[in-house]
Amino acid sequence: MSQPFPSTPYLSGNFAPILMECDAPDLPVLGELPRTLRGTLYRNGPNPQYAPRDAHYHWFIGDGMVHAFHMEDGRVRYRNRWVRTNKFQREQAAGHALFGSWGNPATTDPSVLGQNAGVANTNILSHAGRLLALEEADLPVELDAQTLATRGDVDYGGKLTGAMTAHPKVDPVNGEMVFFAYSADGPFTPGMRYGVVDRNGQLQRLEHFEAPFPSMVHDFMVTQKHVLFPILPLTGSMERAMRGEPAYAWEPQKGSHIGIMPRNGGTVQMRWFHGEACYVFHVMNAWDAGNKVIADVMQYESSPIFNPNGDGTGARLCRWTFDMAGKSDTFTREYLDDMAGEFPRFDERFSTLPYHHGYYALRQYESSARGSYDSLAHLDLRSGKRATYQLPEGDALSEPVFVPRAADSAEGDGWLLATVYRGVQARSDLVVLDASAIADGPVATVQLSHRVPFGFHGNWCGAD
C-alpha cells in the first residue's frame, strides 16, 4: 500500500497531484470555440506518483504528467498521461518512491543508486515529427502525439549522450531546433553544451564550452545571428551538497555573465558581457538590430529560490541590449513594465526576429498562493500599452500559449489559451481569449470535472 502524501505547500491545493489518468471524449464548452482552432494544446508539469522520500519536497521534482486538449470543429477532447520515465517505471513496480529529491543519494533506495532519475516534467513541444517531453537535466522523452504513450528517450542516433534544456528554440525561418545544457560534465560543473537539430530531426552540431562558474541556467536566447547564454549567480556546488547544505545558493558577488556566440561560428568565438547580479528563469524573445543584440527577459533582482532573502516581488519584463560593434563588455538593462509576473510568451512565428506583442502571467491578489498567478497581461511593446484579464479571487491560471488565427495572420492576431484552476470548485477549465482583446474575457471556456495541477509549460501543435 502506498503512503499518503504529507501536507506541505507544494503538495496542497492545486499543487497537489491528481492520482489518475483519464480520457474525456467531448468536454462541455461555454461560449463558442473558434472553428479555426484545429490542433492540440499540450501542457506538462510535476505530478508525483508517490509520496516523496524526503521531508522537504520541492515542486520542481515531481513526475511529469502531460495534459492534452485536442480541438476540432468546435469540440474538445482531453487526455492525461504520466511520462513513463525510468524513475516512474521503477517506482510503479515497487509501489512507492525510490529516488531521493534532486538525486540525493542519502535518501535514494540503494536498489536504484546511479540510475536515471529524470522526471520529464517541464516543457513539451513538437519538432521534426516528434512530440518531446523535456526537462533540463536529462534526455528528451518522445511521446505518441495521439495516445501520449511514452516511446522512450531521444538521443538522436546515439549522438546526444547528456541532457537537453527544457527550453530549446525552434527557428521559424529554417526549422532548426537550437538547444543547450548546463552541468554538462557532471552535477554542479561549469561545463556547457550547445547543439543544433535540423528541421528533419538530425543532430548537426554539438559543442562544449566552460562557463565562468557552475550556474542553474534554465533558459537562453537565440537570434538569427547569435546565441546568448546567461550565467547568473545562482550557483551549484557539490561541496555544499556533501556538507548537507543546499546544492544551489545565491552568490550575488559573482555578478552576471552573458556569453554571446555567432550562430554561424562556434564556441571559440564566445564573447562575454558582464553586469550586476540578477536572475532570469524565462526569456520572452531575442533578435538582432543592426550591430546590436536585444533580448527581452523576465528579470528578478535576486534569485527567488535557494535564497533566504529572495526576490518576493516577482520578475519584471526587462530589455537587455548588447553592442556587438563596441569595445565595452557591459550591457544596458531597461524595464519595459512595472508589473511583476512570469511565464512570458509571444507569437512564436516571430521567434529570433523583431516582434512587438508579449503576454505573461501576473499575480495581483495578495491572497494568491506563492508560485501561482491570477491574471494575464498583453503588452504592446511599440506603444507601451498594457491590457489585463483578472480572474475571480481564489482562481489561478497557467502560462498563456499563443495560437495564430491563421498561418498568415498578422503578428498578435490569434488566441491565448490557458488552463484555469477554479478554487471554490476545486476543478479546472481551459479558457480561450482573443489575444488582441484579453480584457473582454474568454470567448470560450472548456470545462473539466477534475483539476489540472499547477504546471510549467505547454505548446500548441496545429493539425496537419
Is 438 inside any structural domain?
no
Count of structural domains within the chain? 1
pTM: 0.96
pLDDT tens for 214-271 read 999 999 999 999 999 999 999 999 888 778 778 899 999 999 999 999 999 999 999 9
Is 38 inside any structural domain?
no
**C-alpha dihedral sign at 105, 110, 116, 121:** negative
Report d(CA 430, CA 444) in Å as an integer. Answer: 8
Looking at the predicted structure, is the pLDDT value of residue 313 above 90? no
Would you state the pLDDT for residue 204?
A: 97
Is 407 inside any structural domain?
no
Would you state the pLDDT for residue 29?
A: 98
Question: Which residues, including other chains, have CB under 8 Å from residue 213's CB and lie 6 or more apart?
Answer: 190, 231, 233, 235, 254
Predicted confidence band at 1 (pLDDT cuts at 50, 70, 90)?
Answer: low
Is 130 inside any structural domain?
yes
Range of the domain at 174: 9-23+45-59+87-396
Predicted confidence band at 370 (pLDDT cuts at 50, 70, 90)?
Answer: confident
Is 119 inside any structural domain?
yes
Would you state the pLDDT for residue 246?
A: 80
Is 33 inside any structural domain?
no
pLDDT tens for 113-167 read 989 999 999 999 999 999 999 999 999 999 999 999 999 999 999 999 889 999 9
Q: What are phi and psi of 416, to 5 degrees?
A: -110, 130
For a pLDDT cut of 70, what percent of the chain falls above it? Answer: 100
Is 103 inside any structural domain?
yes
- How is residue 58 written as a grid cell? 520541492
Looking at the predicted structure, is the pLDDT value of residue 314 above 90? no
Would you state the pLDDT for residue 82?
A: 98
> Has 218 been labeled as part of a binding site?
yes
Burial classification of residue 291, based on how many CB atoms lie within 10 Å of its CB (0-12 exposed, 13-18 middle, 19 or more buried): exposed
Would you state the pLDDT for residue 53?
A: 92
Report d(CA 7, CA 61) in Å as an integer. Answer: 17
Would you state the pLDDT for residue 454?
A: 97
Q: 243 vs 197, which has greater pLDDT?
A: 197
Would you state the pLDDT for residue 63?
A: 98
pLDDT tens for 146-157 read 999 999 999 999
Q: What are phi and psi of 433, to 5 degrees?
A: -120, 150
Mean pLDDT for 360-365 is: 94
Report d(CA 401, CA 395) in Å as an integer. Answer: 18
> Has 70 been labeled as part of a binding site?
no
> Has 457 been labeled as part of a binding site?
yes
Q: What are phi and psi of 441, to 5 degrees?
A: 85, 180
For a pLDDT cut of 90, what percent of the chain falls above it? Answer: 87
Would you state the pLDDT for residue 103?
A: 75
Is 68 inside any structural domain?
no
pLDDT tens for 387-442 read 999 999 999 999 999 999 999 999 999 999 999 999 999 999 999 999 999 999 99
Would you state the pLDDT for residue 190?
A: 96
Looking at the predicted structure, is the pLDDT value of residue 343 above 70? yes
**CATH at residue 239:** 2.120.10
Three-state DSSP state, 389: strand
Question: Which residues, including other chains, have CB under 8 Å from residue 205's CB and lie 6 or more apart?
Answer: 194, 195, 196
Cβ pair 179, 155 in contact under 8 A: no
Predicted confidence band at 348 (pLDDT cuts at 50, 70, 90)?
Answer: very high
Would you state the pLDDT for residue 331?
A: 98
Looking at the predicted structure, is the pLDDT value of residue 102 above 80? no
pLDDT tens for 3-13 read 899 999 999 99
